[in-house]
Amino acid sequence: MAARPALEAELRQIGESVIEMGTLIESTISTAIRSLREGDVEAARALIANDQQIDDMEDEINELCLAFLATQSPLAGDLRYVISIMKVIRDLERIGDHCEDIAKYTLRFENEAMFKDLIDISRMADRSSRMVKNAIDAFVHRDLRLARHVWKDDEEVDEIFRDLFDELLEIAEKDVRHAKQCIMLLFIAAHLERIADYATNICEETVFVIEGIINME
């Protein structure tokens, strides 16, 4: 078995890579939300073009984790930590995919006046973005209290989504002129709801790393 200092050095390298990927994801969410609110199609195009960077980071961290598992023979907590990292970066990559999809909708709204403001979409976006940031912080710092707080925040995002779904569906049924925008806004809201779900997944992995079980209560 490798000496503990060598094992810890590799763990630090993996952890630092996760923080780097998490920072990139936070920036990507911010860009996706800002481009949608401001109709910034250039920012949306840049986000789409840079999506490969997130995929590459996931691959690189996976390779580090697999090499660690193959050469260091980790036990107990270290083993759980590395396995959880592989799940977390998969969730982060999927969050990036949802951001890319939101950016694509921003392009579809180009030169098109919105029939309603984006207050509820913005509320969902702000809460989902905050959940992801806090989920990453909870995982990196192994903060159980913060992880459980994020998990509970998901209920608020789900409630906003349900209310927005009912509102947009009613508008689409009453005025066919707005049906297309309603559908696109619903898809954007669904992407934000899934981003929040992935944040809760990361929090579940935090609990697993610390306690060896998943118990969010």
How many structural domains compose the chain? 1
Residues 6+ apart with CB under 8 A from 18: 61, 85, 88, 89, 139, 140
How far apart CA 155 and CA 18 sit, in angstroms, is 26
Q: Is 216 within the bounds of a domain? A: no
User: Residue 117 maps to which CATH number?
Assistant: 1.20.58.220
- In angstroms and rounded to an integer, the radius of gyration of the C-alpha atoms of the chain is 19
Q: Is residue 79 part of a domain?
A: yes
How far, in Å, CA of 67 to CA of 197, rounded? 29
CB-count burial class (<10 Å; 0-12, 13-18, 19+) for 198? buried
pLDDT in tens, the chain (217 residues): 445 777 888 989 999 999 999 999 999 999 999 999 899 999 999 999 999 999 999 999 999 999 999 888 888 888 999 999 999 999 999 999 999 999 999 999 888 777 777 888 989 999 999 999 999 999 999 999 999 999 889 999 999 999 999 999 999 888 888 899 999 999 999 999 999 999 999 999 999 999 887 666 6
Q: Is residue 217 part of a domain?
A: no
Task: Evaluate whether residue 77 is within a structural domain.
Answer: yes
Phi, then psi, of 212 in degrees rounded to 5: 80, 0
Confirm whether pTM is higher than 0.75.
Answer: yes
Q: Write out the residue range of the structural domain in which residue 31 sits.
A: 4-211
